[in-house]
Structure 1
Amino acid sequence: MVVRHATVMPATGPTIEDGAVAFVDGKIAAVGRNADVATPPGAEEVDGTGLYVTPGIIDAHSHLGVYASPSSFSNNDGNEATAPVTAEVSAQHAFWPQDPGLRRAAAGGITSLLVLPGSANLVGGRGYPAKLHFGRSAAEMRFPGARDVLKMACGENPRRVYGEGKKTAPATRMGNVAGYRQAFAQAREYMNKWDDWRKKKDKKPDEVGPEPLRDLKLETLAEVLRGNILVQNHCYRADEMAVMLEVADEAGYQIRAFHHALEAYKLRDRLAEKNVGVATWADWWGFKLEAWDGIPENAALISQAGGKAVIHSDSEYGIQRLNQEAGKAMWRARESGILITEEEALRWVTLNPAWMMGVEDVTGSLEPGKMADVVLWKGHPLSVYARAQRVWADGVVTYDAATGPVDPSDFEVGDSAANAARLVAGPAPAPSLEELGLTARCDVTKDRACAEPLPLAKEAACTVFQGVTAFTGTEWVKDATVVVRDGRVGGVQRGVAGAPAAGCAVVEGKGRLLTPG
């Protein structure tokens, strides 16, 4: 595939006017000025004149697939809120690939997303890195090679769910912090126990004894301590982020990013120094007291300090227009005197969330060798008027504005455009009794003969039904003649046929329906 004569925004450098992007076998082959990009043998060429090309949009904080849309008890599996620490669970094991919201996300240019458990728990469990290259199972849609993440949450949520809701710890922020520290202390002990057992097994295999009992919760936390799982921490207030940095230092793990993080701008120098990212909204604030100091310049101030800022959705609706959210945050920053380039704003929803997921080396920008996660836009990508025209994940089209999602959800049966037309037009009217020739109906309360079975000759090898209204399975046939011979339907004729063949029993069926069993 080659997209030519488009405005190319690679996310790693300046915009390329009259640019081109070529990709082969799911990988980007070349990016540059149109005149400098060769067409691979057999490639399809797309004219991008007047259009824009960007990397695929990445949402670093989503609950699609585990909090599906539309939602019901059946598919509401986002939070195992049965204990403050449930590190043993994984969003992958609840992810529903047929969530219609995933297809709407693709229509917004999304090619990858980090699906996280909810924030009721101190430790909610493992997150699931997904690629919107649709499949039948969560395993098929898992982002190849991506590490697991761990969702943690501080602040009001855990103390409300457990302290207020269940009258158990944690009921305060003190209880929150004690819970994190205790959990990681147990994980360190568990990890040391396994390390000691393995060392002994190597030295004295005959004396080692049985291996320690496996604990999935502590196993997950131990992998965090080993640096194999990336920590994604829900946290709003700057002072709590500072406390969580202390908890991480004490336990010996690195926080990859704070999520929501509406007061991150107050701590931006320390976050940049510790290489901790911030995933936030463009302008959500004030919906609870700990969100009161949120400002729309948050992401810009993080970037200005040298940190990694991300615009996330946390919403089945916001994920459909993350490009617009990045544009809003960019313009508000500029209005406040913070110079944010279009390239940096684009990185908020491409390369930076790829880093947050630990996959920045394979996606998030238009560079040769990376995955062909590409969006062709009508309108500037940071404009509210922008619409994705075609979306590729791994070089495969997942959304086309002309036809909709390439792989529609089983939850939405039928062609979406035709369904939309039917909704506008309303349902087709059912045929009337007059149209079916059934005006002379029997009333069993007045005419006993109407309740009597038709006189079918059981011994006849051939039966002819005359004058019936027959349903073939696809249409109604009025005044039909239907021949049944040797147990098989011989045919359906419109109108009354001539004299039946010899040996055929005749049933007068006027006013009756004849249908398949």
Structure 2
Amino acid sequence: MRRHFLTALLAAGLAYSAVAQTTFPRNGVYDERPGLYAFTNATIVVDPQTTLQNATLLIRDGRVEAVGTNVSVPAGTVIADLKGKRIYPALIDIYSDYGMPEIPRAAPGGGRGGVPQIESNKKGAYYWNQAVQPENSASQLFKATPAKADELRKLGFGTVLTHPHDGIVRGTGALVTLADDRENTLVLKSDAAAHYSFSKGTSRQSYPNSMMGSVALLRQALYDADWYKRGGNKEQSNLSLEALNRNQSLPAIFEGNDKLGVLRADKVGDEFGVQYIIKGGGDEYQRLDEIKATGASLIIPINFPQPYDVEDAWDADNVALSELKHWEMAPLNASRLASANIPFALTTAGLKNKADFWANLRKAIENGLSEQKALEALTTTPAKLMKAEDMVGSLQKGRVASFIITSGNLFGADNVIYENWIRGKQYIVNQKDVVDLRGSWQLTIGNQSNVKLNVTGKSADKPEYQIVIDTTKITPKVAVSGEIISIQTQLSRRPGSGTTRLTGYFTSPTSVKGEGETPDGKQITWSATKSGDAPLSTTAVTAARSTSATSSTAVVYPFVGMGNAQKPKSENVLIRNATVWTNEKEGVLTETDVLVQDGKIAKVGKGLSAPAGVKVIDGTGKHLTTGIIDEHSHIALLTINEGGQTSSAEVRMSDVINSEDINIYRQLAGGVTTSQLLHGSANSIGGQSAIVKLKWGESPEGLLLKGADGFIKFALGENVKQSNNPSAGVRFPQSRMGVEQVYMDHFTRAKEYAKGWTTYNKLGAKEKTTAIPPRRDIELDALAEILSAKRFITCHSYVQSEINMLMKVADSLGFKVNTFTHILEGYKLADKMAKHGVGGSSFADWWAYKMEVHDAIPYNAALMHRMGVTVSINSDDAEMARRLNQEAAKTVEYGGIPEEDAWKMVTLNPAKLLHLDNRLGSMKVGKDADLVLWNAHPLSIYARPEITMIEGATYFSLKDEEAKREAMQAERARLIQKTLSAKASGSPTQRPTFRRSRMWHCEDIEGVMAEGEEEGK
């Protein structure tokens, strides 16, 4: 035992850092040593695929010189015998902020009580927006932080990729080691990667104030960099664009943060031909097929959520089923990614307590992640992604000598990391030559021989002791120093019994003898003999039992309540004997059949025969219609307004589709199959619309209606000039006449922009080599599309004078307004609307909710209809959209509109306004089979859809509804019981947080509540 103890001291004393060439002079005596070490008789994991037994690792000057089973050790080498121990490459984390300046909390940049900052305050020839800062370099900001380095070294990490987590374009990251030294010796790669995100960070500029604005800003910056490279640098100097172009050759890491963020980031990458490495959020298993299709490598956190404290039934109501399911399934994420052959690296990012890293990683392994894949994700994969595999990630010859010495299997629950060597410098994590006393010991103390000493604990260097005499359990004080052991304990629980003191020495690893003194001063001899392993503690037994609780690993689409076990698929269906509302010249047909094949309406008629394999549905006594189309909706969006500028024509609602929104399912239950997702009305020129089919379970891209024309939201009135935000006072316009000027200015610029591209495109190939191309402006692209009738306007409108104004502007500049939405004073100028050719998408009977609607009347839709205007009834509200059939019925009551014409206002007419009437809106052969089977007359308040299908796939079935709810309730009950069991087993818990999906309306700004609105509503 004495020999082992002295060896440990010797190794600690000789472990100097490797000799390094330095440009720093030393104030004192130079003491340079060769840094030559040999670690012999070890199990060496060279890389995840290569393990050597009884091998030697030879390092010189901080590099691996040799590794193998037949390595010649040079004279003068410091030798460490690691028999029974293992060596692994040090771990790598490529998503770190180690050594970066602390990011201050972003100060408010606008909204109530804040004055917006429109322009950049950054001095110098930089980009116009402070959220774009590619000129930042982590290597210039890096400052070693010994305490944080030590925290990561104890976990086994030797290298991290660090960068400042601030902004949309964040600059370059640096690959650094976790040694304690000067910064210039710690940096392995100064510009190792370029970093991006969707978060504006600390920028106080009012733009962007939304996710879609962040996407647009990044896209514009990338287009600007391309223009700058192609000649724009001759017209201006921009340090940010120069840096952005330099960074294009680096591995690009994008902070996606969740499953939809991963898809969003990849979409940006596809546009610019860049394959991003994307940092996810740990929920990728919920959209595995779509994420695999991106081809992206991922960086995955293992910050699993704690179980919820649901002992209080009211608290339990605040936890969504998706949250409970994610708590259960999050540990499966890494194994699911591995099974799908999606490359990934693991990161400590997101862990509130870095000490949870190993417990969470072992939980991931228990849930199917192989140890080899885990090691790859912490060594070779991150090294390869950073193009640094020639330096780190393995222990092959020539690599940086960064490795860890362990007691055994790195992933074993009882493994101990003894040392972490970084560039040939030793860092002791735990003493590796500590005697492992864990087990059961039989004690003889004087004449007393019925004494047991149980030694437990997670590691040998942190043992826990308990003396057992008959049924009495006593916790002694024990100290071990080398070969010497001392014990102080009360051998009796009787008051005043006193302390017995024992001191002895190890005669072998399993036996001790020595002398002691009883409480009354008598000298005694004592001995101890190891008799076996220690019994499993009560805590361990409880934990083992808790892991055996039932679990469900099935994913539903989407991953929320009422999700589908499988994504619905198109079927061939014959619906027989229904009352069919054709919306064609045939009108309403009774006792009629409709055949659906390959997602299309194949036949409409009486007595149709069912081809082989066709599903037959009895429609007797029921009404069959095409699906309702909502021309103005804000459901299924993460945000709806980018109000940082007066024009946000560059933003796209398709960038912020939330495919997990329960309102998709609710509106299917109301017969809605298609919706136009519109930008809000915060600015004169809003963003580009997204037209979606409500395919519950599909991804955001899967919801988009392919081949649809492009639309864009404009707005007039109070919201645009910020009437209800008097503190704003900066953003133009501040008056209604200013709104007109916005349109004139922007369309004049768009005309010149389009003309510039036309001129450039006419140049010959030779001329183009010397000409500077026009700068691609994605805002003006959208406006130019309006001028060329490739994009169409839906305009938020109320007041007659403003509606006249926009039609006048359009006529003067040669474009048309497609639709006036809201249009509550449309009855005053319906004749002019008909002449202009603009449609009206109105509410049935909304009024009196603000001054602009003072003149609204319930007969508006009927009066516009009679003047020849194409009229639709829209929702602009998640709740109203569930009963648009009843909103259409109101036009029968208010204005005497015929029932069939009223029904067209929520089906065929919105299809016409969206230029989709060739595919949707009527029961015509060849059109999409988007159908609703109602249990009653569709305009009745008692009508309810029994089946809602899109392209022949059933997305809502009243028949299955009850069973679906019962299954959801049973699953919720199971998960609640499982969380209760986890808490009873001692697991830390989190309190439920009340969350309610926000129901967006036109004027809502992300992060700013409407007057009187509750947080989260």
TM-superposition CA deviations, 1:255-290 (whole Å, max 9, x none): 110000001011111212222110011100111111
Name the counterpart of 2:914: 357
Q: Normalized against structure 2, the TM-score is what? A: 0.39
Name the counterpart of 2:578: 6
Map 1:369-388 to 2 at 5 A: 369-388=926-945
TM-superposition CA deviations, 1:344-385 (whole Å, max 9, x none): 111100011111111110111110000001000011100111
2:611 partner amino acid:
P
Name the counterpart of 1:455: none
2:758 partner amino acid:
D
Residues 1:306 and 2:868 aligned together = yes
Of the candidates 397, 401, 424, which is equivalent to residue 958 of structure 2? 401
**Structure label with greater radius of gyration:** 2
Q: Is the Cα contact below 8 Å between 1:363 and 1:373 reproduced in 2?
A: yes
Map 1:23-62 to 2 at 5 A: 23-32=596-605, 34-35=606-607, 37-62=608-633
Q: Distance in 2 between matches of 1:206 and 1:282?
A: 55
Please say which of residues 297-306 and 256-265 is displaced more in the overlay. 297-306
TM-superposition CA deviations, 1:36-66 (whole Å, max 9, x none): x342332111111110000110000000112
TM-superposition CA deviations, 1:283-313 (whole Å, max 9, x none): 0011111111111111111111111000000
CA offset at residue 206 of structure 1?
5.1
Alpha carbons of 1:107 and 1:12: their partners in 2 closer, same or farther (altered >3 Å)? same
CA offset at residue 227 of structure 1?
0.5
1:21 partner amino acid:
V
Q: Is the Cα contact below 8 Å between 2:935 and 2:946 reproduced in 1?
A: yes
Three-state SS of the structure 1 residue aligned to 2:834 is helix
Name the counterpart of 2:669: 107
Unaligned runs of 5+ in 2: 1-572, 986-1017
Alpha carbons of 1:246 and 1:379: their partners in 2 closer, same or farther (altered >3 Å)? same
Q: Is the Cα contact below 8 Å between 1:200 and 1:208 reproduced in 2?
A: no
Q: Is the Cα contact below 8 Å between 1:235 and 1:260 reproduced in 2?
A: yes
TM-superposition CA deviations, 1:117-169 (whole Å, max 9, x none): 11111011100011112454322211121011010001111112697342122
Q: Distance in 2 between matches of 1:272 and 1:16?
A: 31
Alpha carbons of 1:422 and 1:40: their partners in 2 closer, same or farther (altered >3 Å)? closer
CA offset at residue 241 of structure 1?
1.0
TM-superposition CA deviations, 1:196-250 (whole Å, max 9, x none): 1111247x64565132111111111111111100110110112211111011112
Name the counterpart of 1:325: 887
Name the counterpart of 1:127: 689
Name the counterpart of 1:182: 745
Q: Is the Cα contact below 8 Å between 1:84 and 1:162 reproduced in 2?
A: no
Q: Is the Cα contact below 8 Å between 1:107 and 1:404 reproduced in 2?
A: no
Alpha carbons of 1:205 and 1:134: their partners in 2 closer, same or farther (altered >3 Å)? farther
Residues 1:97 and 2:667 aligned together = no
Three-state SS of the structure 1 residue aligned to 2:722 is helix
Q: Distance in 1 between matches of 2:768 and 2:654?
A: 39
1:196 partner amino acid:
T
Q: Distance in 1 between matches of 2:868 and 2:854?
A: 25
Three-state SS of the structure 2 residue aligned to 1:31 is strand
Q: Distance in 2 between matches of 1:430 and 1:247?
A: 62
1:389 partner amino acid:
E
2:787 partner amino acid:
L
Alpha carbons of 1:45 and 1:209: their partners in 2 closer, same or farther (altered >3 Å)? same
Q: Is the Cα contact below 8 Å between 1:162 and 1:170 reproduced in 2?
A: no
CA offset at residue 103 of structure 1?
0.9
Q: Distance in 1 between matches of 2:664 and 2:733?
A: 35
The two structures, once aligned, show a CA RMSD in angstroms of: 2.6
Of the candidates 713, 716, 736, which is equivalent to residue 173 of structure 1? 736
Q: Distance in 2 between matches of 1:28 and 1:273?
A: 35
Name the counterpart of 2:786: 224
Name the counterpart of 1:153: 715
Q: Distance in 1 between matches of 2:979 and 2:793?
A: 58
* Structure ranking higher on relative contact order (CA contacts 8 Å, 6+ apart): 1
Q: Distance in 2 between matches of 1:165 and 1:40?
A: 67
Q: Distance in 2 between matches of 1:369 and 1:317?
A: 32
Q: Is the Cα contact below 8 Å between 1:164 and 1:171 reproduced in 2?
A: no
Q: Is the Cα contact below 8 Å between 1:163 and 1:170 reproduced in 2?
A: no
Q: Distance in 1 between matches of 2:838 and 2:611?
A: 40
TM-superposition CA deviations, 1:81-106 (whole Å, max 9, x none): 10110100000001111111111111
Of the candidates 744, 750, 760, which is equivalent to residue 197 of structure 1? 760
Three-state SS of the structure 2 residue aligned to 1:177 is helix
Q: Is the Cα contact below 8 Å between 1:87 and 1:220 reproduced in 2?
A: yes
Q: Distance in 2 between matches of 1:194 and 1:161?
A: 38
Alpha carbons of 1:223 and 1:7: their partners in 2 closer, same or farther (altered >3 Å)? same
Q: Is the Cα contact below 8 Å between 1:133 and 1:394 reproduced in 2?
A: no
Residues 1:212 and 2:774 aligned together = yes
Q: Distance in 2 between matches of 1:263 and 1:423?
A: 49
CA offset at residue 253 of structure 1?
1.3
1:302 partner amino acid:
M
Q: Distance in 2 between matches of 1:431 and 1:326?
A: 48
Residues 1:391 and 2:948 aligned together = yes
Three-state SS of the structure 2 residue aligned to 1:241 is helix
Alpha carbons of 1:319 and 1:273: their partners in 2 closer, same or farther (altered >3 Å)? same
Name the counterpart of 2:237: none
Of the candidates 588, 612, 625, which is equivalent to residue 15 of structure 1? 588
1:416 partner amino acid:
R
Q: Normalized against structure 1, the TM-score is what? A: 0.75
Three-state SS of the structure 1 residue aligned to 2:956 is strand
TM-superposition CA deviations, 1:449-482 (whole Å, max 9, x none): xxxxxxxxxxxxxxxxxxxx9xxxxxxxxxxxxx
% same residue:
36
Three-state SS of the structure 1 residue aligned to 2:750 is helix
1:171 partner amino acid:
Q
Q: Distance in 1 between matches of 2:964 and 2:958?
A: 14
Residues 1:348 and 2:348 aligned together = no
2:965 partner amino acid:
S
Map 1:377-456 to 2 at 5 A: 377-404=934-961, 415-419=964-968
Q: Distance in 1 between matches of 2:786 and 2:710?
A: 10
**Aligned pairs, how many?**
409
Residues 1:63 and 2:628 aligned together = no
Residues 1:241 and 2:803 aligned together = yes
1:274 partner amino acid:
H
Q: Distance in 2 between matches of 1:421 and 1:321?
A: 29
Q: Is the Cα contact below 8 Å between 1:283 and 1:296 reproduced in 2?
A: yes
Of the candidates 697, 703, 720, which is equivalent to residue 141 of structure 1? 703
